[in-house]
Structure 1
Amino acid sequence: MSNISDVIEAYLKNIIQSNNKNAIEIKRSEIADRFECVPSQINYVINTRFTIERGYVVESKRGGGGYIRIIRITNEDKAKLIDEVIEMIQPTVSQQAAIDILERMLEEELITKREAKLMVSAISRNTLAFHLPVRDEIRSRIMTAMLTTLKY
């Protein structure tokens, strides 16, 4: 059984995909009411599941008429997307950010599930048994090498 965060994430992604605009505007309180949870749960989902690494931009306006806008970043040119990701991960990248990026690339069908698993294994903190910040620098270099190879 999925937890509430997974359910909320799937619901929001489904709305984004179904409206063909790659963007939605939501009211935090309305979504919280729909899922019978506290509004901070919606904040958690948005802050952890709709990040730039995962291919989303989030805008918000506070106040009575406030909203949260979630925009899916689309990129028709896959080589350009890889270049943008490489720029994003240099000179360092955390394990979570790297995994988020790989999930995005899997969703965009730039890599297969098998390739994603291999890449996660290569960049995990268990494999890269170095102290920070060296570990994040090495992870960045490994990911850059793998992504560059995917481009060609």
Structure 2
Amino acid sequence: MRNISDIIEQYLKGSLQDSKEGTIEIQRNDLAEQFSCVPSQINYVIQTRFTLEKGYLVESKRGGGGYIRIQRIELPQHTELHHHLHHSIGSHIDQTAAEGLIYQLEESGFLSKREACLMRGAISRECLNLKLPYRDELRSRVMKAMLLSLLGK
């Protein structure tokens, strides 16, 4: 059985997918009531599963009539992806940012679930058993090499 966080995440992703603009606005209290949970549960889902690294822009307005706006950030088209990856990864990348980029590529269909799983294993700190900053430098080179070969560039 899935937990409430997974259910809320899937609901929000479905709403985003159905949105023509790729943006949704929600009222935290209304959503909490809909799922019979506390409003902080909605905050938790948004803060952990709709991050910039995972390809989402979140904006909120507090107070009466306040809202939370979630927007899916689309990856560039295949021709621009090489430049985007080079810029995103740079010469160093930490594990959190690397995993976020892999997640975003998987969600966008650029990577299969299996490819994403293999990449996460290859760039993990357990696999790259070096001290910082060498680990982040090596992770950057490994990420670029894998992505460029997978994307055919």
Percent of residue pairs bearing the same amino acid type: 52
Q: How does 1:1-152 map to 2 (within 5 A)?
A: 1-75=1-75, 77-149=77-149, 150-152=151-153
User: After superposition, what is the alpha-carbon deviation per residue over 1:84-123, rounded to whole angstroms, capped at 9, x for unaligned?
Assistant: 2432233433323322221221121212222212211110
Q: How many residues align?
A: 152
Name the SS for the 1:100 alignment partner.
Answer: helix
- What is the letter of the counterpart of residue 55 of structure 2? G
Give the aligned CA root-mean-square deviation in angstroms.
Answer: 1.8
TM-score, normalization by structure 2: 0.87
Return 141-150 or 77-86, whichever deviates more. 77-86
Report the TM-score when normalising by structure 1: 0.88
SS of match in other structure, 2:43: helix
- Return closer, same or farther for 1:51/1:81 CA change in 2, 3 Å cut-off: farther
Aligned letter for 1:58? V
Shift of 1:78: 2.4
Q: Does the 8 Å contact 2:50/2:56 carry over to 1?
A: yes
Question: What is the letter of the counterpart of residue 115 of structure 1?
Answer: E
Question: Is the alpha carbon distance of 1:81 and 1:41 closer, same or farther for their aligned partners in structure 2, counting shifts above 3 Å?
Answer: farther
Q: Does the C-alpha gap of structure 1 residues 36 and 85 become closer, same or farther in structure 2, counting only changes over 3 Å?
A: farther
Task: Measure, in 2, the Cα distance between the counterparts of 1:81 and 1:8.
Answer: 30
Unaligned runs of 5+ in 2: none
List runs of 5+ in structure 1 lacking aligned partners.
none
Please tell me whether the aligned partners of residues 75 and 108 of structure 2 are also in contact (alpha carbons under 8 angstroms). Answer: no
Q: Tell me, in whole angstroms, the C-alpha distance in 1 between the residues paired with 2:85 and 2:76.
A: 14
Q: Which amino acid aligns with 2:92?
A: T
